[in-house]
C-alpha cells in the first residue's frame, strides 16, 4: 500500500490493521499479567520496591507518552507522520518481550535496577508503536460507518490478542508465583513465553505495516500547523469533552490494570488453581461474542454515552460477587458474564475519542490525534500508580511485604478478594458517574459531524489540486 493519498479501504486492510492491534495488545496485556508476579513472587523484590519502580515508570511515562504523541503530530516524511514510528518501535518491542524475563539473580538492588530499566524500555517502544497505530484509526476511517466496520475487526482481533496474552502464559508457566516449583525453572518458563510473544509482535507488525496502515494526503500538511508542546498540552486539556472522557477512561484502565496484575495470586491462593489466566480468557471469549451486540445497542439508542455507562454498570454487577466467592466454577461464570460489560468498554471508548478528535479539528483546523492519545496515555499513568498503591496498601497490611507463599491468613485471602471485586467496582462507579456529564451527544454531536464532513470535503479538494 502507498503511504498517502488513498481514500478507501478494503476489508483486508481492516483485518491487517487489526492484526497490528492484536500484536500490540498481546504484548501489553502479557506485560500487565506477568511482570508484577514475576518480579514480586519469583525474583523476590519486596512490594515497596516494586511499587516504587512502577511509580517511577509512571512518572517517566507522564512525559514520554505526550512527547511521543506531539512529535509524531509534528512529523512530516514521505511515509507520513505515524508509520515511521510504528516501524521503528516494532523490533525493539519484540526484543524487550524476551529481555523482560532475564534479570540478574544477585543482590536485590541489582534486580530492582534491571526491573526498572526493563519496564521503562518496554513502555518507550510500546508507546512509539501503539500510540501511533491507534492515532491512525480516526484518520484512516473518517465516517461512522467506516469506523464501526473497522472497529469491529479491530476489537475482535484485540480480544484474540488478549486471549493470547492470558492463555499462553497460563499453559507455559504452570506455577507463575514459584509457589511449589524451583524459581530457576519458572524463570525459564517465563523466558520461553517471552520468545513466543516476541514472534507474535514481529509477525503481526509486519502484516500491519505491509497491508494495514496508510496516511491520507489531505492531512499531510497538518504537521506544519501543530502547536508547541506546551500549547498542545494546554489546548488538549482545555477540551471539556476530553475532561469527562479522561476520568472515565482512567477508571477503566485502573480496572484493566488491577485485575490482570493480581489474578495470578488471586487464582493460586483464593481459588486454589493455577488457571487464573483462564478466568481472564473467559471474559474476552464472551467479549468477542458481545462486540456486535454493543454496535447494535449504539445504533438502536444513538447515544455512545448511555451505551458506555450501561456496559460499565453490567461490569460492576459481575465484579462485586468476586469479593466473596472462593469457588473456581462460580468465578469462571462471573468472569464469563463479565465479558458483556468488558466488550462495551473495549468497543465504545475509541469511538468516543474519535468524536472528540473530530470536534477539535473543527475548532483548530488540524487533526491532533497524537496529542490527544498522548495526553490520554499521560493521564492513564495515574491509573497505573493507583493500581500499585492499592496493591501495596493491601499486601503490606496482610503481611505480604515480601512474598511468602507459606504464610497465608484469612486477612491475606480477604485482601486478594477485595482487590479483584471491590476496588475495581468502586473505580467503575466513579467513571460512570463522571461520564454521565459528557456533553458531546444528541444534537450537538450531529451538528459537529456535519461541520466535520464539510471540512474534510474542503481538505480533500485542496489536496486534489496537488496530486
Residue 299 confidence (pLDDT): 84
Average pLDDT rounded to a whole number, residues 373-377 = 74
Q: What is the band of 215 on the pLDDT scale with cuts at 50, 70, 90?
A: confident
Confidence of residue 289 (pLDDT cuts 50, 70, 90): confident
Cα(445)–Cα(355) distance, rounded to whole angstroms? 8
> Cα 16 to chain center, whole Å?
19
Please tell me what DSSP assigns to residue 228: -
CA distances to 91, 141, 313 from 426, rounded to whole Å, are 39, 35, 11
Question: Would you give the distance in Å from CA 387 to the centre of its chain?
Answer: 14
381/85: higher pLDDT:
85
**Domains in the chain: boundaries:** 11-215+228-464
| Residues whose CB falls within 8 Å of the CB of residue 291, separated by 6 or more in sequence, listed in order | 152, 155, 156, 159, 343, 346, 347
CB half-sphere exposure, 59, CA atoms < 13 A? 6
| Percent of the chain surpassing pLDDT 90 | 54
pLDDT tens digits, residue range 159-176?
A: 889 889 999 999 999 999
Residue 308 vs residue 465, higher pLDDT: 308
pTM confidence score? 0.82
Burial 178-202 (b: 16+ CB within 10 A, else e): bbeeeeeebbebbeebbebbbebbb
Q: Please report the DSSP string for 158-225 in residue order.
A: HHHHHHHHHHHHHHH-S-TT-SSS-HHHHHHHHHHHHHHHHHHHHHHHHHIIIII--B-GGGTTGGGG
Q: Which CATH superfamily does the domain covering 11-215+228-464 fall into?
A: MFS general substrate transporter like domains (1.20.1250.20)
CB atoms within 10 A of CB 390: 21
Q: Are 258 and 392 in contact (CB under 8 A)?
A: no
What residues contact 246, with CB distance under 8 A and at least 6 apart?
A: 375, 376, 379
What is the rounded distance in angstroms from the CA atom of residue 216 to the CA atom of residue 6? 6
Query: For every residue of 428-458, which 3-state class applies, written as one string?
Result: HHHHHHHHCCCCCCHHHHHHHHHHHHHHHHH
C-alpha angle 301/160/93, rounded to 5°? 115
Q: With bands split at pLDDT 50, 70 and 90, how would you rate the model's confidence at 237?
A: confident
* CB of 332 closer than 8 Å to CB of 279: yes
Integer Cα distance of 28 and 164 in angstroms:
11
Q: Report the mean per-residue pLDDT for the chain.
A: 87
Amino acid at each position: 500500500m502507498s503511504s498517502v493519498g488513498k481514500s478507501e479501504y478494503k476489508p483486508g486492510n481492516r483485518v491487517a490493521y487489526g492484526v497490528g492491534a492484536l500484536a500490540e495488545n498481546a504484548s501489553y496485556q502479557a506485560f500487565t499479567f506477568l511482570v508484577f508476579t514475576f518480579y514480586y513472587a519469583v525474583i523476590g523484590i519486596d512490594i515497596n520496591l516494586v511499587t516504587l519502580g512502577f511509580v517511577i515508570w509512571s512518572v517517566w511515562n507522564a512525559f514520554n507518552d505526550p512527547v511521543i504523541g506531539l512529535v509524531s503530530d509534528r512529523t512530516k516524511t514521505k511515509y507520513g507522520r505515524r508509520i515511521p514510528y510504528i516501524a521503528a518501535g516494532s523490533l525493539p518491542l519484540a526484543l524487550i518481550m524476551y529481555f523482560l524475563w532475564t534479570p540478574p539473580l544477585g543482590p536485590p538492588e541489582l534486580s530492582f535496577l534491571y526491573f526498572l530499566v526493563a519496564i521503562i524500555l518496554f513502555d518507550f517502544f510500546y508507546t512509539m508503536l501503539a500510540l501511533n497505530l491507534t492515532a491512525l484509526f480516526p484518520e484512516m476511517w473518517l465516517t461512522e460507518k467506516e469506523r464501526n466496520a473497522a472497529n469491529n475487526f479491530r476489537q475482535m482481533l484485540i480480544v484474540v490478542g488478549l486471549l493470547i496474552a492470558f492463555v499462553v502464559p497460563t499453559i507455559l508457566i504452570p506455577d507463575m508465583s514459584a509457589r511449589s516449583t524451583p524459581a530457576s525453572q519458572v524463570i525459564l518458563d517465563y523466558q520461553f513465553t517471552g520468545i513466543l510473544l516476541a514472534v507474535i509482535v514481529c509477525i503481526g507488525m509486519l502484516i500491519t505495516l505491509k497491508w494495514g496502515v496508510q496516511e491520507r494526503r489531505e492531512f499531510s500538511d497538518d504537521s506544519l500547523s501543530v502547536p508547541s508542546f506546551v500549547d498542545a498540552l494546554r489546548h488538549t486539556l482545555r477540551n471539556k469533552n476530553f475532561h469527562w472522557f479522561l476520568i472515565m477512561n482512567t477508571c477503566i484502565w485502573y480496572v484493566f490494570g488491577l485485575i490482570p496484575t493480581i489474578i495470578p495470586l488471586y487464582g493460586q491462593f483464593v481459588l486454589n488453581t493455577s488457571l487464573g489466566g483462564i478466568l481472564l480468557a473467559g471474559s474476552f471469549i464472551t467479549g468477542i461474542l458481545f462486540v456486535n451486540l454493543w454496535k447494535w445497542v449504539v445504533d438502536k439508542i444513538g447515544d455512545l454515552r448511555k451505551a458506555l455507562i450501561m456496559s460499565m454498570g453490567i461490569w460492576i454487577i459481575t465484579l462485586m460477587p468476586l469479593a466473596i466467592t472462593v469457588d473456581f466454577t462460580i468465578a469462571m461464570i462471573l468472569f464469563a458474564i463479565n465479558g458483556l460489560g468488558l466488550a462495551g468498554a473495549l468497543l465504545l471508548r475509541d469511538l468516543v475519542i474519535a468524536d472528540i478528535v473530530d470536534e477539535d479539528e473543527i475548532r483548530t483546523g488540524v487533526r491532533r490525534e497524537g496529542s490527544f492519545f498522548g495526553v490520554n496515555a499521560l493521564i492513564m499513568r495515574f491509573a497505573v500508580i493507583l493500581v500499585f498503591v492499592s496493591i501495596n496498601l493491601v499486601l503490606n497490611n496482610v503481611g505480604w511485604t515480601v512474598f511468602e507463599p507459606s504464610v497465608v491468613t484469612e486477612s491475606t485471602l480477604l485482601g486478594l478478594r477485595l482487590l479483584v471485586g471491590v476496588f475495581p467496582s468502586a473505580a467503575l462507579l466513579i467513571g460512570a458517574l463522571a461520564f454521565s456529564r459528557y456533553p458531546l451527544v444528541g444534537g450537538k454531536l450531529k451538528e459537529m459531524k456535519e461541520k466535520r464532513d464539510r471540512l474534510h470535503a474542503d481538505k480533500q479538494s485542496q489536496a486534489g489540486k496537488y496530486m
